[in-house]
A and B are shown apart, each in its own frame.
Chain A
Amino acid sequence: MKRTRRSVALSLSWILVLAAGSCLAAAAPEDFHLSRDTRSTLAAIQQDWSEWLAAYELNDGEAQDLALEGLVDGAAELGMKVLPELSLAAAVRAVESAGVGDRQRALRALEAAERLDPGRPETSFASAAIHRLEGSWGRFLGETARGYVRALGVPAMRRAWRHNLVLWLLTTLLLAGCAYVAILMLVRGPALVGSLLKALRRHLPVPVGVALILALLVWPLLLPARVQAVVLNWIILLWAYCVRSERWVLGCLLLAFGLTPIVLDEQRRQVGVEMASPVRAAEDARDGRLGGTVFGDLQRLAIVLPDSTAVLHLIADQHRRMGQCDQARGLYERVVEREPRNAGAWVDLGSCRFLGGEYGQAIESYRRGVAIDPDLAQAHFNLSLAFSELYRFAEADLALRRAQEIDSGRVAAWLKQTPRRAAAEVAAGLERSREIRRDLKASWVFEDDGAAWSSPWRDYLSVPLALAGVLLAALVGRFLPVGLLEERASPLVTPAAGWGTLYRVLVPGLPDLEAGEPLRGLAGLVIVCGLLLVPWASAYGYRQPWGYEPAAGLGWAAALLGLALFFLLRWRREVEF
């Protein structure tokens, strides 16, 4: 009941935000109003997609190309570069066609996918699937590898990988650490049990002593965190029987246990923010990705962070890109009001005024921009355009020369790409997605911490517990009666040859702990645990935000290959010795 209430509380804020977003989307708020022209372009994109699908079904290549051109042009009209969702759908269509043996259409669809969103990892994965269906295994592997490389270039995917890598590393370290303690019990356990039994034998019958020792070792199973409690208990008991480097490993393991929840809490906050649709929309706008819900999501962003100047700036830039200068202008004015030293906003405000024919005001805005950042080439270039419109050619020439001095290459490009003498954009607001993420995360942390059920001391409880564990272990080791330490020794657990060789090869860490090389032993365990967890990580961790799945089983293949190689090397070294 308590847990359910917490879950509800945790998600309530987001539900409210989303609900509010939906209501306001219906009411078309002033922050993100779509003009009739924009809606018309969006409708045209929708229609072009339907035409592409129909042409694909009819295998009409010309109509497909025409529809494709319409889609790309439609996105460009809105100042966007790519249509990722349509690209994904085209890639799926390609694999479907390949599945029924229509290679020609499959390749055509794949080309369309690449055209709609160049460099997309999903397109490579789809291409790999097509090669797999055709039995071209070399190309399949090549395209799969290409897909992964492309995925590294997509920020959202890169972030998901980074988070999963942290998760995998922490799990690997802790699992390897626990396995280390278990193997330490194999090696040092007999000495521990033996010395305890020796002490107890003086006062108690042997069976009672054995029962007591067993109880001492496993009593933490009664605690809530059973396995970890047992590990902690064993660390404390084995501490006295370990050499210094082993104690270091045990101490670090305890600290890792203590810090892991805090790292994961921080990580899940980051993930929550990064996965939020408004944040994704901000990044889509920055990268020119025209998704189906990008406008609604940007609108939600404005609702979630109503006081964020970065959000205002970003939305203003997006309006301006889409040619909705009336909306953009009002937003820019609010931005410069809050951030008078924002040169980019001044310049883009000037561009809105310029497009509205208010050249005098435009010049004023550009001059404010130049005053703040004299090296802003866009400001000088736009200033030259405005002066030209007012027939002040000498000043225009001067401003243009100044812009060329600052960045002649870009000025040449602006002159070439803007035959109608359109203003150059700064679009600094589109680059503020990182700041927006930070603001969003800050507001989320505030909501969480303010909740009645949240208390920081509970979140950080694991750290003092870990430190107490280290301290207790050291104290027990220090003050343990001398008699109990008579057998602080590493017994020869395994014989030198025969099955002992096999045992040492297959149980990583054991021969190294026997040989007094604990760090090497831990490294072996980390490698094995890490490889074993590779396939597990994809099922347990945060899902990759890609739309098309690469071939299944690659994780297993990598893990098995790695393990085979690892044990082969161990076998060779063992045999050599």
Chain B
Amino acid sequence: MAYQGSLSDSPFPEVLQHVGRTAGTGILTLQGRDEIIGVTFLDGEVVSVDAVNQPPEDGLGYVLAVSGLVSREDFSVLVAENQAGGGRVIDLLVERGYINRRQLLEALRQQTLRLCAEACSWESGQFRFYRGDQVSYEHGIEPINVDDLLAKLAVGPERPAAAAVAEPEPAASRAPAWLTPDAMPSPSGARPLAAPDAGPAVEILGLEPRTPKALAVEMPAMAPPAVEMPDPEAWRDEDEPAGRRRSRPWLDVDWTAVRAPQLPGRLLGIGLLVALAALVLLAPDRFLVPLEAQERIRTGMASEVLSSLFGKVDRAAKTYFLLRGRFPADLRELIALDLLAPGDDRLADDRRLSYTAAPVSYLLAIEGEARLDASTRTETISGNFLLDPEFSPPELLATPPLVLLD
């Protein structure tokens, strides 16, 4: 069973420590009031953290901007290009020479600390740890020990020197004061729309960016966010052209297309389950030996099952003969005497047995399939010394005893 529970019972630092102690590998999902955060663990150490509903500009874009490495505008352009051409934004950042690999890893580390700090502020919500054999994370990233992480969180994240750029307020609106620089215009309570490139944990979890409606449908336990629809550009420059805003790729996501694949996959899974049940019930031999080339095995097996049934009927019929001096007129007589089970007059595929009794013999076959092979059997009392009066003629008993005169 997965490690899961409520953040009100087990605060986030406690959950972190637990996963760290158990050296877990997998993804810890935190479901807050209006945000989902995924913390990726590798052997009990944190390797990445991502927020599902946070667009890259609010996440990595913010960290890079406050570090003075990439401007907001440049980052937005890169995101737009990325949407058109595929791949990952972070690769594009390095390829275009905005930052080098080391800076990228450091920015990701900052992002991790920032999101962990945000999660620490949550007082309610649910968590669940999805254990796995392997997790996906950025190559080269240095895993963060949970104790180190908690120590850093206790003193606040390592903030970039240049804090000229406003930081978006966490969705829960309960972030510590050090997370919200005074200079930053806050989108108070606003819940940003998700971007399709939401980060590695999103990919690993398959957490598609969702509209609030989608969240409400998928997670009924959650109270619907009592906030306005978001304004993702709230912290951006006021003078940014409106047309450009509309062309932003995360606003142009075809949500229907993204969510639609869930249904066929599930329907197919359910369809297979139904087909399996039907196959096992209706043609069990074909389930176990499906290939046509192996028909000999299937036929041989069915033949032996039939033989075992015939043997049982024979035993029952001859017991009946011992008691009544005749074979039963119908197999139901044997079932009534508990000599046969209720289902012993038919095969697993529901073909019935045909039984015809004669005074000293009976014929057993599959109904409508009587033929000269093992599927048809005739049994008599001949050769059975208990049933056949001619096996030991009466004169044997009438033999006078030998009398010794001496």
Q: A206-B257, A275-B311, A515-B128 are in contact. Are A40 and B397 (CB under 8 A)?
A: yes
Report yes or no: A516 in contact with B133, Cβ–Cβ below 8 A.
Answer: yes
Q: Does B383 count as interface, using CB distance less than 8 angstroms?
A: yes
State how many angstroms separate the Cβ of B332 from the closest Cβ of chain A: 14
A264 touches B289 (CB 8 A): yes
Q: How far is the CB of A521 from chain B (nearest CB, A)?
A: 11
Contact mask for chain A residues 445-487; partner B; CB cutoff 8 A; 1 contact, 0 none: 0000000011000110110010000000000000000010011
Which of B266, B284, B288 makes the CB contact (< 8 A) with A260? Answer: B288
How many whole Å from B147's CB to the nearest CB in chain A?
Answer: 24
Q: Hey, what's the 0/1 contact readout for A66-105 against B, CB within 8 Å counting as 1?
A: 0000000000000000000110110011011000000000
In chain B between 190 and 218, which residues have their CB closer than 8 angstroms to a CB of chain A? Answer: 202-208, 218
Q: Are B268 and A218 in contact (CB under 8 A)?
A: yes
Stretch in B108-116, B354-362, B371-379 with 4+ CB within 8 Å of A: B371-379
Contact (A545, B276) CB under 8 Å given A42-B391, A96-B337, A453-B296: no
Q: Are A182 and B273 in contact (CB under 8 A)?
A: yes
**Is A8 an interface residue when CB atoms closer than 8 A count as contact?**
yes
Q: Does B340 have its Cβ within 8 Å of any Cβ on chain A? A: yes
Identity of the chain B residue whose Cβ is nearest the Cβ of A548 in the assembled complex: B338
Q: Which of A271-287 contact B (CB under 8 A)?
A: 271-272, 275
Q: Does B48 contact A (CB under 8 A)?
A: no
Contact A192 B265 (CB under 8 A): yes
A495 at the interface (CB under 8 A from B): yes
Is there a chain A Cβ closer than 8 Å to B309's Cβ? yes
Q: How far is the CB of B39 from chain A (nearest CB, A)?
A: 14
Distance to closest chain B CB from A112 (angstroms): 13
Contact with B along A542-561 (1 / 0, CB 8 A): 11110111001000000000
A498 CB within 8 Å of chain B: yes
Per the bound structure, the CA–CA distance linking A512 and B179 in Å amounts to: 37
Residue pair A193, B296 in contact (C-beta under 8 Å): no
Q: What is the interface size of chain B, counting residues whose CB is below 8 A from a CB of the partner?
A: 106
A336 part of interface (Cβ distance < 8 Å)? no
**Residues from 294 to 345 in B contacting A, C-beta threshold 8 Å:** 294-297, 299-301, 303-305, 307-309, 311-312, 315-316, 318-319, 322-323, 337-344
Q: Which residues of B contact A89 (CB under 8 A)?
A: 319, 322-323
Q: Which of A217, A244, A453, A545 contacts B134 (CB 8 A)?
A: A244
CA separation between A56 and B171, bound complex, in Å?
Answer: 90
A573 at the A/B interface (Cβ < 8 Å)? Answer: yes
Given A225-B291, A496-B4, the answer on whether A549 and B338 have CB atoms closer than 8 Å is yes
In the bound assembly, the distance between CA atoms of A461 and B396 in angstroms comes to: 60
Contacts of A544 in B (CB 8 A): 312
B2 contacts A490, C-beta separation under 8 Å: no
Residue A190 interfacial (CB < 8 Å): yes
Say yes or no: A549-B341 contact (C-beta < 8 A), given A261-B291, A292-B385: yes
Q: Give the one of B262, B385, B397 with max A CB within 10 A.
A: B385
Cβ-neighbour of B299 out of A10, A126, A574 (below 8 A): A10
Query: How many chain A residues have a CB neighbour from B under 8 Å?
Result: 137
B33 to nearest A CB, angstroms? 14
Q: A23-75: which have CB < 8 Å to B?
A: 25, 36, 39-40, 42-47, 49, 53
Contacts A275-B308, A516-B131, A543-B309 given: A40-B275 contact, CB under 8 Å?
Answer: no
Q: Tell me, rounded to whole Å, the shortest Cβ–Cβ distance linking A75 to chain B.
A: 11
Chain A contacts of B288 at CB under 8 A?
A: 167, 170-171, 174, 260-261, 264
Task: Give the complex CA separation of A181 and B86 in angstroms.
Answer: 31
Q: Which residue of B lies closest to A573 (CB)?
A: B1
A497 contacts B by Cβ under 8 Å: yes
Residue from the list B3, B297, B308, B373 in contact with A261, Cβ < 8 A:
B297
| Complex interface residues of chain B between 354 and 406 (CB less than 8 A to chain A) | 371-375, 382-387, 389, 391-394, 396-397, 399
Question: Complex: how many Å from CA A225 to CA B294?
Answer: 11
Is B131 a contact of A293 with CB atoms below 8 Å?
no
Distance, CA A126 to CA B338, complexed state (A): 9
Question: A292 and B384 in contact (CB under 8 A), knowing A40-B392, A461-B293, A492-B207?
Answer: yes
Is B221 part of the contact surface with A, judged by Cβ < 8 Å?
yes
Contacts of A265 in B (CB 8 A): 297, 300-301
CA distance A515 to B19 in the complex (A): 14
Quick check: is B130 within 8 A (CB to CB) of the other chain? yes
Looking at the assembled complex, report how far the CB atom of B127 sits from the nearest CB atom of chain A, in whole angstroms: 9
The reply to whether the CB of B29 lies closer than 8 angstroms to some CB of chain A is yes
| Cβ–Cβ contact A496 & B265, under 8 A | no
A10 & B133 in contact (Cβ 8 Å cutoff): no
Check if A492 sits within 8 Å of B205, measured CB to CB: yes
Check A540–B284 contact: CB distance below 8 A: yes
A230 within 8 A of B: yes
Interface string of A371-391 (1 = CB under 8 A from B): 000000000000000000000
A496 touches B205 (CB 8 A): no
Which of B202, B206, B275, B281 counts the most A-chain CB atoms under 10 A from its CB?
Answer: B206
Q: Is B140 an interface residue (CB 8 A)?
A: no
Q: Within the assembled complex, what's the spacing in Å between the Cα atoms of A231 and B385?
A: 55
Nearest CB of chain B from residue A501's CB, rounded to whole Å:
9
User: Who on chain B is nearest to A267 by CB?
Assistant: B301
B176 at the interface (CB under 8 A from A): no
Using CB atoms, name the residue of chain B closest to A244. Answer: B133
Query: Which residues of the partner chain B approach A506 to less than 8 Å between Cβ atoms?
Result: none
Most buried by B among A194, A231, A512: A194
Across the interface, which residues of A come within 8 angstroms of B203, CB to CB?
Answer: 486-489
Task: State how many angstroms separate the Cβ of A537 from the closest Cβ of chain B.
Answer: 10
**Chain A: which residue is nearest B218 at the CB level?**
A495
At the interface, yes or no: A517 with Cβ under 8 Å from chain B? yes
Report the separation of the CA atoms of residues A538 and B305 in the bound assembly, to the nearest whole angstrom: 11
| CB of A564 within 8 Å of the partner chain | no
Q: CA of A295 to CA of B220 in the docked complex: distance in angstroms?
A: 75
Residues of B within 8 A of A549 (CB): 338-341
The reply to whether A490 and B130 contact each other, CB–CB distance below 8 Å, is yes
A12 interface residue, CB < 8 Å from B? yes
Give the CA-CA distance A272 to B299 in the complex, in Å.
Answer: 13
Q: Give chain A nearest CB distance to B367 CB in angstroms.
A: 16
Give CA–CA (A498, B222) in the complex, Å. Answer: 10
A409 at the interface (CB under 8 A from B): no
Determine the chain A residues whose CB is within 8 A of the CB of B389 once the complex forms.
46
Residue contact B373 to A228, C-beta cutoff 8 Å: no
Q: How far is the CA of A516 from the CA of B3 in the complex (A)?
A: 11
Q: Does A305 contact B (CB under 8 A)?
A: no
Cβ contact of B399, chosen from A40, A183, A487, cutoff 8 A: A40
Partner of A201, one of B257, B301, B343: B257
Minimum distance in angstroms from A534 CB to a CB of chain B: 13
* A234-B301 contact in complex given A174-B287, A191-B206, A543-B312, C-beta closer than 8 Å: no
Please tell me if the beta carbons of B221 and A272 are within 8 angstroms of each other in the complex.
Answer: no
In the complex, the answer to whether B297 meets A545 with C-beta atoms within 8 Å is no
CB atoms of B341 and A552 under 8 A apart: yes
Do A490 and B205 touch (CB < 8 A)?
yes
**Cβ–Cβ contact B128 & A189, under 8 A:** no
Q: Which of B26, B340, B348 is within 8 Å of A516, CB to CB?
A: B26
Residue B31 lies at the interface, judged by CB distance under 8 Å to chain A: yes
* Contact partners of B207 in chain A: CB under 8 A: 489, 491-492
Residue in contact with A45 in the complex, picked from B134, B258, B296, B385, CB distance below 8 Å:
B385
- Could you tell me the distance in whole angstroms from the C-beta of A256 to the nearest C-beta in chain B? 10
A43 touches which of B133, B206, B392 (Cβ 8 Å): B392
Q: CB-CB < 8 A to A126: which residues of B?
A: 338
**Chain B residue at minimal CB-CB distance from A21:** B383
The answer to the question of B219 belonging to the interface, with a C-beta cut-off of 8 Å to chain A, is yes
Chain B residues closer than 8 Å to A244, beta-carbon distance: 133-134
CB-defined contacts of B304 to chain A, threshold 8 Å? 268, 271-272, 275, 542
Q: Kindly list the 5 A-B residue pairs having the minimum CB-CB distance in the complex, ordered from nearest.
A: A189-B265, A489-B206, A43-B392, A11-B374, A225-B290
Question: 16 A-B residue contacts at CB 8 Å?
Answer: A85-B322, A89-B323, A92-B339, A160-B308, A185-B269, A197-B257, A268-B297, A268-B301, A293-B384, A489-B204, A496-B219, A517-B131, A542-B308, A543-B308, A548-B338, A577-B1
Given contacts A190-B261, A498-B221, 11 further A-B contacts (CB under 8 A): A14-B374, A40-B396, A45-B385, A89-B323, A189-B266, A189-B268, A225-B291, A227-B275, A495-B220, A511-B2, A547-B315
